[in-house]
């Protein structure tokens, strides 16, 4: 789970605050006729500028400054555009000299505002609120469903497997998943089954691992790696999804691995204060069960052939929940299993997400 923004990007990345001005000058030298200013919505692993042209006939752009470990791979961003169309931005790496092994990426400015912003200020209930929530979930289902026709189901190892990829014979269909998460799915599940903080969660991880290993084949697709409300853009009036940003963590994974993102559209973390401490829970909004049914109905309606494999898709949904909330962010290391002392929100999400009927 991604952390909050308690410190500046420059501090988080081990840079100096004056590096901000160096980057501004470098970007201004590329876009000499444009106004370069700090973008209002910032992420954890990047610093974003809005580049506004002097002529109305030119396109407004976004330029992101990113450290090498959180860069955007052209193969991934290109595939995202191919699969998800206008919901993913076109991305181009800029050839500029920046401090601290930083890189700059130009991308089109997608329409919409982060869902996190509208959810917090618009009344969720009543007829208008319900219609917005339905439109949000329907458009999320359509976004996910776009990947199904482009999925491929390898029957043999159709690409070179990394030498350090722990792929086992009983899960060889996972071999094309060669990213940081995909190459380690089986051992990551093993670790969760051993180290999660209670028996119920450990058993769920073990069950998911067993179901995964029982599969002979399953469709793979490019999954967005950070489907949280700040990365989901929506139309401010209708709540229809207009775009998805931050594809740095995207990988080829089993189709449906990113379905944990649906849960963030159906509820949120709440803190209940007791006498001695404040304990978080993930609370679902009214109507969440009905909206979940809307989601699955749209998925199957758009891809009728998915109906025969819907239980397998639900297994991959659980896989994504476990991999997403079961490991702490730890500045991008993502190799420590969460615990109930340091990772209370992640554990709350795990229990809630795995406790609902899909």
Calculate mean pLDDT across residues 194-213.
Answer: 97
Mean pLDDT of the chain: 90
**Binning pLDDT at 50, 70 and 90, where does residue 276 land?**
low
- Tens of pLDDT, residue by residue over 164-193, are 444 444 578 999 999 999 999 999 999 999
Q: DSSP H helical segments within the chain, as ranges?
A: 9-12, 19-30, 74-84, 115-121, 126-145, 185-195, 199-214, 260-266, 288-302, 310-325, 344-353
Is there a single domain that holds both residue 176 and residue 141? yes
**Residue 297: pLDDT above 80?**
yes
- Tens of pLDDT, residue by residue over 21-31, are 999 999 999 99
User: Is 2 domain-assigned?
Assistant: no
Calculate mean pLDDT across residues 146-155.
Answer: 68
Residue pair 231/240 in contact by the 8 Å Cβ criterion:
no
Is there a single domain that holds both residue 100 and residue 130? no
Calculate mean pLDDT across residues 98-107.
Answer: 95
Calculate mean pLDDT across residues 332-346.
Answer: 93
> pLDDT at position 156, please?
35
Is there a single domain that holds both residue 177 and residue 246? yes
> pLDDT at position 119, please?
87
**Binning pLDDT at 50, 70 and 90, where does residue 308 land?**
very high
Is there a single domain that holds both residue 230 and residue 301? yes
43-47, 57-61, 105-109, 203-207: which has the minimum mean pLDDT? 57-61
User: Is 269 domain-assigned?
Assistant: yes
Domain of residue 85, CATH code: 3.30.200
User: Is 256 domain-assigned?
Assistant: yes
**Binning pLDDT at 50, 70 and 90, where does residue 328 land?**
very high
User: Is 245 domain-assigned?
Assistant: yes
User: Is 224 domain-assigned?
Assistant: yes
Is there a single domain that holds both residue 268 and residue 224? yes
pTM across the whole model: 0.90
Residue pair 246/43 in contact by the 8 Å Cβ criterion:
yes
Angle between helices 185-195 and 199-214 (to 10 degrees): 150
| pLDDT higher at 93 or 156 | 93
| pLDDT higher at 154 or 60 | 60
Residue 187 CA, distance from chain mean position: 21
Domain of residue 282, CATH code: 3.90.1200
How open is the CA angle 282-342-46, to the nearest 5 degrees? 80
User: Is 3 domain-assigned?
Assistant: no
> pLDDT at position 26, please?
96
> pLDDT at position 294, please?
99
> pLDDT at position 157, please?
35
User: Is 358 domain-assigned?
Assistant: no
User: Is 69 domain-assigned?
Assistant: yes
Find the domain containing 40 and state its range.
9-108
**Residue 3: pLDDT above 80?**
no
Is there a single domain that holds both residue 91 and residue 117? no
| pLDDT higher at 244 or 158 | 244
Is there a single domain that holds both residue 120 and residue 81? no
Q: How far apart are CA 30 and CA 19, in angstroms?
A: 17
The pair of three-digit structure tokens given for residue 73, joined into one six-digit string:
């791979």
Residue that finishes a domain, picked among 49, 79, 108: 108
52-61, 116-125, 290-299: which has the minimum mean pLDDT? 116-125
> pLDDT at position 275, please?
55
> pLDDT at position 196, please?
98
**Residue 89: pLDDT above 70?**
yes
Is there a single domain that holds both residue 257 and residue 129? yes
> pLDDT at position 161, please?
42
Is there a single domain that holds both residue 118 and residue 202? yes
**Binning pLDDT at 50, 70 and 90, where does residue 43 land?**
confident
- Tens of pLDDT, residue by residue over 229-243, are 999 999 999 999 999
Is there a single domain that holds both residue 91 and residue 226? no
**Residue 149: pLDDT above 80?**
no
Residues with Cβ within 8 Å of residue 173, at least 6 apart in sequence: 153, 154, 155, 215, 216, 217, 218, 220
Domain count, the chain: 2
In percent, the amount of the chain with pLDDT more than 70 equals 90
Residue that finishes a domain, picked among 86, 108, 130: 108
Residue pair 244/142 in contact by the 8 Å Cβ criterion:
no
Is there a single domain that holds both residue 300 and residue 167? yes
**Residue 36: pLDDT above 80?**
yes
> pLDDT at position 165, please?
45
User: 249: closest CA among 261, 241, 240, 239?
Assistant: 261
């Amino acid at each position: 789970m991604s952390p909050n923004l308690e410190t500046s990007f420059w501090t988080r990345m081990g840079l100096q605050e004056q590096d901000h001005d160096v980057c501004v000058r470098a970007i201004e030298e590329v876009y000499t006729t444009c106004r370069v200013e700090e973008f209002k919505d910032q992420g954890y692993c990047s610093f974003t500028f809005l580049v506004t042209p002097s002529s109305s006939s030119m396109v407004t752009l976004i330029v992101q400054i990113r450290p090498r470990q959180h860069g955007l791979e052209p193969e991934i961003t290109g595939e995202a555009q191919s699969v998800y169309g206008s919901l993913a931005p076109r991305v181009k790496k800029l050839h500029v000299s920046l401090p601290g092994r930083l890189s700059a990426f130009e991308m089109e400015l997608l329409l919409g505002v982060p869902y996190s912003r509208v959810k917090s200020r618009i009344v969720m209930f009543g007829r208008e609120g319900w219609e917005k929530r339905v439109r949000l979930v329907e458009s999320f289902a359509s976004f996910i469903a776009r990947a199904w026709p482009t999925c491929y189901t390898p029957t043999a190892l159709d690409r070179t497997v990394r030498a350090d990829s722990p792929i086992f014979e009983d899960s060889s269909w996972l071999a094309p998943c060669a990213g940081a998460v995909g190459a380690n799915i089986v051992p990551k599940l093993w670790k969760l089954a051993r180290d999660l903080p209670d028996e119920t969660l450990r058993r769920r991880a073990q069950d998911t691992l067993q179901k995964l290993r029982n599969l002979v084949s399953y469709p793979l697709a490019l999954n967005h790696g950070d489907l949280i409300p700040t990365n989901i853009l929506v139309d401010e009036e209708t709540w229809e999804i207009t775009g998805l940003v931050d594809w740095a963590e995207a990988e080829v994974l089993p189709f449906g691995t990113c379905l944990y993102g649906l849960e963030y559209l159906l509820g949120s973390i709440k803190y209940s204060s007791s006498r001695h401490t404040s304990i978080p829970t993930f609370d679902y909004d009214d109507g969440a069960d009905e909206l979940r049914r809307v989601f699955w109905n749209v998925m199957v309606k758009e891809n009728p052939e998915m109906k025969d494999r819907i239980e397998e898709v639900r297994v991959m949904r659980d896989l994504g929940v476990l991999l997403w909330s079961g490991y702490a962010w730890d500045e991008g290391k993502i190799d420590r299993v969460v615990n109930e002392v340091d990772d209370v929100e992640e554990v709350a999400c795990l229990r809630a997400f795995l406790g609902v009927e899909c």
